[in-house]
Amino acid sequence: MVTLDELFAIDSLLTDTERQIRETVRQFGEQRLRPHVAEWFEQGTFPARELAPELGKLGLLGMHLEGYGCAGTSATEYGLACLELEAIDSGVRSMVSVQGSLAMTAIHKYGSEEQKQRWLPELAAGRAIGCFGLTEPDFGSNPGGMRTRAKRDGSDWILSGAKMWITNGSVADVAVVWARTEDGIRGFLVPADTPGFSAREMHHKLSLRASITAELDLDGVRLPADALLPEGRGLAAPLGCLSEARFGIVFGALGAARDSLTAAIDYARTREVFDKPLAAYQLTQAKLADMAVELGKGMLLALHLGRLKDAGGLRPEQVSAGKLNSTREALAIARECRTILGANGITLDYPVLRHANNLESVLTYEGTAEVHQLVLGEALTGSKAFR
């Protein structure tokens, strides 16, 4: 027998440091998170406040950023950490992704030195939690249509509007909020205790239940001039942050796929059907073989994109290709694994349907599968087909 990593000799493609980071995050996930994640999912809760300092101590928050208490790892190392976190649950990786690739990246790329010094060390250590307010109730795939407005009032800004599907929203200490101004779309740092700002946690979810999702309301929120992110101008600014987060998903979704496939293999080897193990039947082996091949191809693509990013040559459409492939194939793998587990596959005793439910969200957020198909279509043809 070979493991899924051994089948494609993945370890031979990694450096010693990459393997060490992967194993450290994997061990943390198995020991600290896995024993509780099914309960968090069932109860629809996530102990973000409790876990953030632990994640910060491991250096996982904003780990790919330089300075200000951040670990300064490579993109590939960050991707491997995302993979191991999502092997536990997509909600865990989402929390880390939103904190580091969205909120912290926005401050790191577009903030003033004072903003960086104020927030980045706190966010990196997990002493503070951040969220990223771009999506609105009526504007998901088309963020350029946002209705949230920021108007000048003397030297201050007044923000009004609403944001929806905001991970970490109701536990965040600071929100990066994007709004339309007379000068185009700009970003603002909104401390959670600012009058007029409120966050309402969203319930009744069937996906990403072990994750905090909120709706943000901005009712005449008055901010000083220095709340503006000085270098974040136009829609390209928040989309640049989204590209960072999508890169983490390229790796992360494969973690959910690997965990599902590992559970299915273990189950098939021990479950007896008609007096022999389920794994001994041709149909089962065909399913397992096809899924292993897709997982292996996804890993090779993810590592290739990681190397390109570390070399400074990764293009947005390549991130789209990775996000589309990883999420689509991971969801297909989780669903197929459920068929191997039969009725047992619908329980939280096994991770596969939990992963499948989560991946329905991962397929959708930070660019739906259809949006990424159109990004690739435009790259291939030179013609835009979004409208």
Q: How many CB atoms lie within 10 A of CB 180?
A: 18
Helix (H, G, I), strand (E, B) or coil at 212: coil
Annotated active-site residue 366? The verdict is: yes
- For the record, the structure tokens of 273 come out as 């059907």
Q: What gap in Å lies between CA 108 and CA 123, rounded to an integer?
A: 11
Helix (H, G, I), strand (E, B) or coil at 3: coil
For residue 259, the one-letter residue type is D
Residue 289: exposure state from Cβ atoms within 10 A (0-12, 13-18, ≥19): exposed
- Name residues whose C-beta falls within 8 Å of residue 99's C-beta, 6 or more positions apart in sequence: 52, 61, 62, 123, 129, 130, 168
Q: What gap in Å lies between CA 58 and CA 125, rounded to an integer?
A: 9
N-to-C CA span, the chain:
51
| Contact predicate 366/238, CB 8 Å | no
- Catalytic residue, candidates 18, 84, 244, 366: 366
| Contact predicate 109/231, CB 8 Å | yes
Q: What single string gives the DSSP state of each residue in 173-204?
A: SEEEEEEEETTEEEEEEEETTSTTEEEEE---
Calculate Rg over the CA atoms of the chain. Answer: 21
Q: What gap in Å lies between CA 82 and CA 90, rounded to an integer?
A: 9
Q: How many CB atoms lie within 10 A of CB 330?
A: 32
- Annotated catalytic residues are 366
